[in-house]
Amino acid sequence: MTSTLTPDTTELPSAPDPTLTADDVLAAAERLVPVLRERAAETDRERRIAPETFRLLQEAGLFHVLKPKEYGGLELSEHDHARVTMTLARGCASTAWVFSILSSDNIAIVAFPQQTQDEIWGANSYATLAGNTNLNQKATAERVSGGWRLTGRWGFCSGSDFSEWLVFNAPAGDDGVGHMFLVPREDTTRIDDWHPTGLRGTGSRTMAVDGVFVPDHRVQSTKDTVDKIAERRELHPTFDTMYAPWPSPGKFPFAAVAVGAALGAAEHFAGTAASSTRVANALGGAVRLADQDYVATEFAEASGEAEMARLMVEAGSAEAAERARRHEVPTQQELARGLRDNALVTRASLRSVSRVYSLIGAKAGFPDHPVSRAKRDVEMVSHHVTLNWRQNALAYMAAHV
């Protein structure tokens, strides 16, 4: 077994201040932006978030946004989650991605019985869940007395450098349908294979298990997750987000990272354009970026597009949160619109950051340049399966005809 980088949690309180409001949490995220910007290049180079940075997220209560009050959670909404994600991504997309994944996975935990929730959060309200919920057909689960013996490996385990628990989706039973297995980190092996072009700091490495015993109370049919969340609502009667669909496009869990990164790139350009130059032509010379008409027009449109994407995320997540507050089931049209909007704002963010990148010149080609990193990060986000434009556009059309 391999150890992972874990922050020292000995001095953390048992849980964040229970009186923290959504505005308090968002303000804390905003205060982190300059720190994340300062550490972003190192995060990218090291291919992981520094333990000190993770500790700051914990201290701000961010991993308690979507967590039941019984376990020290704040029971906030999808809207709050999306706004925190966008804010953090203005400083560092990788850090925002890890926050978004680990915060979202709290909803997977509450789908399990109270015994499981107590095991995960009872002694440590800061515990998080990483892993991969995509079905790995090559994995095996052997039925044994009281549980299963699980073997397999799963890639793209974002946040696994820090999470105390991992979730894996493997075929099980006579029919071989997908089941979610919750495994303690100490029972897993980390494979250091995360060398992408973007979102490098997410530490989304492959995690493996070999014949690990998983008791029945930590195993559940994946297709039953939505029904199980509904069954567990009586355990947390004031946690309205448990009435949201799973997985929910209303949180904009991946798209909000792209939007925040594009906004951060635009902010960087606006703050440096007055003092930035680029080569005038092949014979040399220099021109100030802020003096160029084409720069003004391109930047105005690029920044405006990112702002429109932000407004769409804010409006869409607020609408989803209100439905959950009313305990309303979203229609197929509403779900399809949510998926479309996730893909749409990501496309807009990619266009925006690519335009800003093109204005800077060759300097943007260096990996430590903030706009270079933002462009690579947004490109990586755009490849996520849930943000496939063609797929989501077809689903949107099908729901409306």
Per-residue pLDDT tens over the stretch 287-315: 888 888 989 999 999 999 999 999 999 99
Domain borders along the chain are 128-222, 249-399
Residue 281, pLDDT > 90, answer no
DSSP assignment letter at 48: S
- Mean predicted confidence (pLDDT) in 227-238: 98
* pLDDT tier for residue 276 given thresholds of 50, 70 and 90: confident
**Which tokens go with 345?**
């704002």
Give tens-digit pLDDT for 39-73: 999 999 999 999 999 999 999 999 999 999 999 99
For residues 346 and 259, give the distance between their C-alpha atoms in angstroms, rounded to a whole number.
7
Single-letter amino acid code for the residue at 332: Q
Closest by Cα among 369, 353, 351, 49 to 200: 49
For residues 366 and 368, give the distance between their C-alpha atoms in angstroms, rounded to a whole number.
6
For residues 114 and 232, give the distance between their C-alpha atoms in angstroms, rounded to a whole number.
8
For residues 312 and 342, give the distance between their C-alpha atoms in angstroms, rounded to a whole number.
9
* pLDDT tier for residue 186 given thresholds of 50, 70 and 90: very high
Residue 258, pLDDT > 80, answer yes
Residue 171, pLDDT > 50, answer yes
For residues 182 and 164, give the distance between their C-alpha atoms in angstroms, rounded to a whole number.
10
Task: Measure the N-to-C terminal CA separation of the chain; round to a whole number of Å.
Answer: 53
The pLDDT of residue 1 is: 37
CATH superfamily entry for domain 128-222: Butyryl-CoA Dehydrogenase, subunit A, domain 2 (2.40.110.10)
Angle at 21 between CA 18 and CA 27, to 5 degrees: 120
* pLDDT tier for residue 284 given thresholds of 50, 70 and 90: confident
* pLDDT tier for residue 4 given thresholds of 50, 70 and 90: very low
- Rg of the chain (C-alpha set): 22
| Overall pTM surpassing 0.85 (yes/no) | yes
Average pLDDT score over the chain: 95
Residue 392, pLDDT > 80, answer yes
Q: Which 3 state secondary structure label does DSSP give 363?
A: helix
Give tens-digit pLDDT for 107-164: 999 999 999 999 999 999 999 999 999 999 999 999 999 999 999 999 999 999 999 9
Q: b or e along 41-70 (b: 16 or more beta carbons within 10 Å of the residue's beta carbon)?
A: bebbeebbbbeebbbbbbbbbbbbbbbbeb
Residue 257, pLDDT > 50, answer yes
CB atoms within 10 A of CB 358: 13
* pLDDT tier for residue 10 given thresholds of 50, 70 and 90: low
CATH of 249-399, one of 1.20.140.10, 2.60.40.10, 3.40.47.10, 1.10.3720.10: 1.20.140.10
> Do 309 and 85 meet the contact criterion of CB atoms below 8 Å apart?
no
**Which tokens go with 127?**
């515990």
The pLDDT of residue 8 is: 54
Establish whether domains 128-222 and 249-399 are of one fold: no
- Phi then psi dihedrals of residue 123, to 5 deg: -100, -10
- Mean predicted confidence (pLDDT) in 205-209: 98
pLDDT over 90, % of the chain: 90
Residue 9, pLDDT > 60, answer no
> Do 222 and 134 meet the contact criterion of CB atoms below 8 Å apart?
no
DSSP assignment letter at 203: -
Lookup result for tokens 């680029």: 278
Residue 200, pLDDT > 70, answer yes
Residue 2, pLDDT > 80, answer no
